[in-house]
Chain A
Amino acid sequence: NAGVMQNPRHLVRRRGQEARLRCSPMKGHSHVYWYRQLPEEGLKFMVYLQKENIIDESGMPKERFSAEFPKEGPSILRIQQVVRGDSAAYFCASSPPYAGGSYEQYFGPGTRLTVT
């Protein structure tokens, strides 16, 4: 059973370009979360999605950032017109369907974005 998959693992973009980060959740998981981690810091929640729905985007910057989780295919985190401050590790996590309890989130290996 494959774990959470993210690609690319490393991404270099120049200022002003677009970055697209992909995440395929674990088999059977319908919930996807995106987090950002700066060096020597903890993970900061960005957005929580289910298939075709954004449930909570309270941690996402209002401009330049967007996320989707289409009916078919991976979840995409898009960053338009990247700036140097966007350089960070971006992690995707997934969890099984929510049934009123609390489910642990399983993380992918991350995408390390460097903006030059």
Chain B
Amino acid sequence: EDQVTQSPEALRLQEGESSSLNCSYTVSGLRGLFWYRQDPGKGPEFLFTLYSAGEEKEKERLKATLTKKESFLHITAPKPEDSATYLCAVQEGNFNKFYFGSGTKLNVKP
């Protein structure tokens, strides 16, 4: 059973068209939820850590929020350089490993 599910799998936006990416999880005892950005041929780049429901983090055009069962990554007025795959990962309980979702591939057209 997948612990982390991301939707949509792919998202095409026009420059300036705001939208949200979803990450739902089923792990119990969430220790942390992490968002990463991955460009083709590169390693994931850390964006945010969220620890508890209601928490929000912002960075430039990105804003991450967390509820008890899911997280959203809001992209406001995206630019072509925001095009990448966005990965969500969760860490549970006393375990150190991350469970990753399959990612959302974002394409922002000028």
**Interface of A toward B, CB cutoff 8 Å:** 4, 31, 33, 35, 40-45, 48, 55-56, 58-59, 91, 98, 102, 104-110
Contact = CB atoms under 8 A, between A and B. Distances in A.
B97 interface: yes
A102 B91 contact: yes
B103 A42 contact: yes
Nearest to A92: B43
Contacts of B100: 35, 42-45
A56 B43 contact: no
A104 B34 contact: yes
Interface stretch (B13-21, B44-52, B67-75): B44-52
Interface in B32-62: 32, 34, 36, 42-46, 49, 51
Contact of B49 (A35, A58, A102): A102
B87 interface: yes
Interface in B73-109: 87, 89, 91, 95-103
Contact of A56 (B34, B46, B96, B101): B96
Given A42-B87, A104-B34, A109 B43 contact: yes
A110 B42 contact: yes
Contacts of A56: 95-97
Given A55-B96, A107-B45, 4 more contacts: A42-B6, A43-B44, A59-B97, A110-B43
A50 to B, nearest CB: 10
A83 B8 CA distance: 33
Nearest to A107: B43
**Residue in A44, A104, A107, A108 whose Cβ sees the most chain B Cβ within 10 Å:** A104
